[in-house]
């Protein structure tokens, strides 16, 4: 006696509210940014904003370069620390749920509070605030974003592949490099994007952990929009550059990854 429900409207209708939301709060703001990038203070069409940014007269390109380097280094350190962590977490996952929790626990605390307390600790230890402390703060904040995707992929690796490799005479090192690492590639790539993109756009971490002395790309965008009047133009150009960077890194993910799951993330 099963009763069959038939939807009067197609199931697609349920996606409409979100579509409208996306249109209003993602697409429209992007268009506004695009328009602002071509306007000067008086609202007239101009290319000055692009000229100013790309000739580096306000130091915009320098800031971008510094941000890219810091983002890259942060990602690398996160990967170097995060991979072994995720690996051992995955290996002893069944018996050690508490351990996994320990790595996710910091994410339960608001990151601003964490960063402020990091600053307090550095000040108490008499550490000079600067590049080192900013880097520390970045790694500390983005490490979970590296570990989590890695952990998920590593846990889902079918153990029989590893056994097969061992059966065929591979030693531990070979098993790791020839089997586990290639199988976790999708996790590595999504970990890298999840760390790199926020790391190049953050402004709060550098603001707090260097007392605003280390001026990054996120700080520059923030300054143009919220600390000055009528300088939306250059700020918009910077935001567009940021957007291009995000798209580029996602494209890179698509090119390097054969995994369908990661591809669909774009």
Partner 1 sequence: MKKFVSSIAILLLVCLVLTAFAACKTEEIDTLVIYNWADYIFDVEAMKTEFETYYEQMTRKKIEITYVTFDTNETMLTRLTKGDSNVDVVCPSEYAIQKLIELDMLVPLHYFDEESYLNAFSSSVDSGSYVHNADNVEQGIRDKVGETFGNIEITADGANKGKQVSMLDYFVPYMYGTLGILYNKFEFERLGIYDGETLNKANWGILFNDNGEGGILSEDLTGNILMKDSIRDSYAATVFYLLESGKLEGMTNSEGKPYDEMPASELINAVEDNLLEVVKQTLTEQKSQLFGYEVDFGKDDLLMGNAIVDLAWSGDAMYAIEESWDDEREDYELAYYLPHSNGNIWFDGWVVPKTYDPDHLDAIKLFINYLNRPDVAAKNLLEIGYSAAIKPQVLLNDENAMRILAEGYEYDPDDPDEMAEFTDYFFHYEDEIDLSNWRYPFESAELNSDNYRNIDSLGVMRDFGDKNKAVVTAWNYSRSAGVNALPLLGWTALAVAAIVGAAYLIIAVKRFYRQRVVVRDNSEDGDTDKT
Q: Under the criterion CB under 8 A, does residue 229 sit at the interface with partner 1?
A: yes
Which ranges of the chain would DSSP assign to H, the alpha helix?
Answer: 16-22, 28-37, 48-54, 60-91, 97-104, 111-124, 131-156, 159-167, 172-174, 181-183, 185-201, 204-209, 217-226, 232-256, 260-263
The C-alpha atoms of residue 189 and residue 68 are separated, in whole angstroms, by 17
Query: Among 128, 126, 132, which Cα is nearest to 205's?
Result: 132
CB of 2 to partner 1, least distance (A): 55
Instruction: Provide the CA 120 distance to its chain's centre, in angstroms.
Output: 25
CB of 11 to partner 1, least distance (A): 38
Q: Return the residue of 27, 41, 247, 248 that touches partner 1, per CB under 8 A.
A: 41
CB of 181 to partner 1, least distance (A): 13
Q: Under the criterion CB under 8 A, does residue 65 sit at the interface with partner 1?
A: yes
Q: Return the residue of 33, 36, 37, 63 that touches partner 1, per CB under 8 A.
A: 63
Tokens for 187, please give them: 């996790």
Q: Exposure string (b/e) for 122-146, b if CB count within 10 Å is 16 or more?
A: beeeeeebebebbbbbbbbbbbbbb
Q: Which is nearer to partner 1, 54 or 92 (CB)?
A: 54
Q: What is the dihedral of CA 163, 165, 170, 176, to 10 degrees?
A: -90
CB of 137 to partner 1, least distance (A): 14
The C-alpha atoms of residue 265 and residue 198 are separated, in whole angstroms, by 16
Binding-site size for partner 1 (CB under 8 A) equals: 44
* x/- map, 158-197, partner 1, by CB under 8 A: -----------x---x------------------------
Q: Under the criterion CB under 8 A, does residue 79 sit at the interface with partner 1?
A: no
Q: Which is nearer to partner 1, 96 or 228 (CB)?
A: 228
Q: Which is nearer to partner 1, 191 or 233 (CB)?
A: 233
Q: Residue 96: which residues within 8 A CB-CB, separation 6 or more? A: 89
Q: Which is nearer to partner 1, 48 or 183 (CB)?
A: 48
Query: What are the two backbone dihedrals, phi and then psi, of residue 230, each rounded to the nearest 5 degrees?
Result: 55, 35
Q: Return the residue of 97, 178, 213, 258 that touches partner 1, per CB under 8 A.
A: 213
Q: Under the criterion CB under 8 A, does residue 110 sit at the interface with partner 1?
A: no
Binding site for partner 1 (CB under 8 A): 40-41, 52, 57-60, 62-63, 65-67, 69-70, 72-73, 76-77, 80, 123, 128-129, 131, 135, 169, 173, 210-215, 219-220, 223-224, 226-231, 233-234
């Amino acid at each position: 006696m099963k009763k069959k429900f038939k939807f009067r409207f197609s199931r697609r209708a349920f996606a409409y509210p979100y579509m409208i939301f996306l249109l209003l709060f993602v697409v429209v703001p992007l268009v506004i940014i695009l328009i602002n990038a071509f306007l000067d203070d008086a609202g007239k069409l101009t290319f000055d904003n692009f000229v100013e940014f790309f000739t580096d007269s306000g130091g915009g390109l320098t800031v971008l370069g510094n941000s890219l380097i810091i983002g890259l280094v942060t990602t690398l350190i996160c990967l170097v620390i995060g991979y072994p962590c995720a690996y051992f977490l995955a290996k002893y996952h069944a018996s050690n749920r508490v351990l996994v929790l320990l790595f996710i626990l910091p994410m339960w605390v608001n990151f601003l509070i964490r960063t402020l307390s990091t600053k307090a600790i550095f000040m108490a230890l008499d550490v000079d605030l600067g590049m080192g402390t900013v880097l520390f703060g970045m790694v500390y904040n983005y490490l979970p974003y590296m570990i989590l995707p890695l952990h998920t992929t590593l846990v889902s690796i079918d153990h029989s592949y590893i056994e097969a490799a061992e059966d065929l005479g591979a030693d531990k090192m070979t098993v790791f490099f020839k089997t586990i690492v290639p199988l976790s590639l999708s996790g590595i790539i999504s970990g890298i994007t999840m760390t790199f993109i926020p790391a190049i756009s953050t402004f709060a971490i550098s603001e707090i952990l260097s007392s605003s002395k280390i001026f990054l790309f996120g700080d520059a965008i923030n300054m143009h929009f919220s600390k000055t009047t009528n300088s939306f133009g250059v700020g918009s150009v910077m935001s567009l550059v940021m957007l291009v960077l995000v798209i580029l890194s996602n494209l890179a993910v698509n090119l390097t990854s054969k995994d369908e799951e990661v591809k669909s993330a774009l």
